[in-house]
């Protein structure tokens, strides 16, 4: 799995951080998404898909 984030799209809803804290974080100065792991292990795949699905700004690109 490969994950990419489109930071300018991010609206800092914080949902990805709550769903997959091992993969996503928020930048301290403005809350924008930070990608911690661009190739997360299989245990994280469901969470990453869920985060991508609920992101209000559709800021994630997830590829197999």
Partner 1 sequence: MKADVPVLSMTREPEAPLDPPSQYGGFRREAPITRISLGPGAPTAWLVTRWEDARAVLANPATSTDLSRPGYPSRTPMSMPPGFFLFQDNPIHDVFRKVLTREFMVKRIEALREATARIFDGLMDELVVHRPVADLVEAVALPLPSLVISELLGVPYEDHVFFQEHSKVLIDNTVTGAQKAAAQGALGDYLETLVERRRKEPRDDLITRLGQQVDAGTFTTRDAADVGAFLLFAGHETTANMIGLGVLALLEHPDQLPRLYAGKAELATAIEELLRYLTIAQSGLARVAIEDFTVDETTIQAGDGLIIMLNSANRDEAIFSATADELDLGRANARQHVAFGYGIHQCLGQPLARMELQVVLPELFRRLPNLRVADRQEVIYKPHAAAYGPALLPVTW
- Helix (H), strand (E) at residue 60: strand 60-63
CB of 25 to partner 1, least distance (A): 8
Residues near partner 1 (CB under 8 A) are 11-15, 17-19, 26, 28-32, 50, 53-54, 56-58
Choice between 1 and 12, CB closer to partner 1: 12
| Least Å from the CB of residue 8 to partner 1 | 10
Q: How far apart are CA 8 and CA 64, in angstroms?
A: 23
Residue 35 · residue 5 · CB < 8 Å: yes
């Amino acid at each position: 799995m490969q994950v990419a984030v489109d930071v300018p799209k991010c609206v800092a809803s914080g949902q990805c951080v709550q769903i997959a804290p091992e993969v996503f974080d928020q930048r301290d100065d403005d809350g924008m998404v930070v990608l911690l792991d661009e190739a997360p292990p299989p245990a994280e795949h469901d969470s990453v898909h869920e985060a991508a699905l609920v992101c209000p700004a559709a800021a994630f690109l997830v590829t197999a």
